[in-house]
Amino acid sequence: MTTWERPVPHWSSDPFAGRTTIHGLPSDEVRSALHKHVRRGRVEQSIRAAIELCRTDAEHEAEMWRRLQVLAAEDVGRGDPTAIVVVRACHEAADDTPPGSYDRLVFAAHAAGHVARAAKDPTDGEIMQLVLHEELVPEIPDEARCVHTRAGQEAGRTMEDWFRDGTAIDPEVADRDHAFHDRLRELYHRIDPSPPPS
């Protein structure tokens, strides 16, 4: 075999490549089908793929749960932030039932159906892929060099500086109560004030 240089693992490193499911389907293809059906909102096909993996053996079932969790975070993402919670809860509930039981399959079906039906916003996962492939590093803004860092302390930054610049939030909910924030601003001005302008 020639040297593998593509940005995806070679199939020979996949423990499910070359294996088959309970009905003789290629395991890696059923796993891949689960992803594609969920992404396109094909509820029945998503459930079929999940149940096929679940019924094969414990290793396939564990892989099915891993993939549903990834789908909930990567593909559903901000479209339904509760999707990962639903999948995790279903997985935990399934673990309370006997292996191979009908009840165990109910939780797998519900989890797969939930992520398939969910609105999807994969933006965060897309950003992550760009970060990885382009070796992107984070910017260090000036407010990050606050009193909690070596650079900030050496520059004479104070708790008042940090509270003024380092705790700014965006976006902020429209009806947020600022009373406690205002009290803290006054407190930090008293106990560790910013130096006067030179």
Q: What is the pLDDT of residue 197?
A: 82
Range of the domain at 97: 11-126
What's the pTM? 0.85
On whether residue 116 sits in a domain, the answer given is yes
| Mean of the per-residue pLDDT values of the chain | 95
pLDDT value at 69 more than 60: yes
Task: Please tell me whether residues 81 and 162 are part of one structural domain.
Answer: no
pLDDT value at 1 more than 60: no
pLDDT digits 0-9 by tens, 137-182: 999 999 999 999 999 999 999 999 999 999 999 999 999 999 999 9
Q: What is the pLDDT of residue 2?
A: 64
Letter for the amino acid at 182?
A: D
Task: Please tell me whether residues 36 and 80 are part of one structural domain.
Answer: yes
The residue among 98, 126, 154 that closes a domain is: 126
pLDDT-derived band of residue 5, with 50, 70 and 90 as boundaries?
A: confident
Angle at 68 between CA 62 and CA 69, to 5 degrees: 90
Task: Please tell me whether residues 85 and 158 are part of one structural domain.
Answer: no
Q: What is the pLDDT of residue 4?
A: 66
On whether residue 137 sits in a domain, the answer given is no
- Quick one: the chain helix, strand, coil %, rounded to 5? 60, 0, 40
pLDDT digits 0-9 by tens, 13-49: 999 999 999 999 999 999 999 999 999 999 999 999 9
Average pLDDT over residues 121-129: 95
Domain count, the chain: 2
Distance (Å) of CA 174 to CA 165, 178, 179: 20, 11, 14
Task: Please tell me whether residues 91 and 174 are part of one structural domain.
Answer: no
pLDDT value at 193 more than 60: yes
- CATH code at position 75: 1.20.272.10
Q: What is the pLDDT of residue 8?
A: 83
Average pLDDT over residues 58-85: 97
Q: Among residues of the chain, what percentage have pLDDT more than 90?
A: 90
Q: What is the DSSP letter of 77?
A: B
CA–CA dist 122, 78 (Å, integer): 7
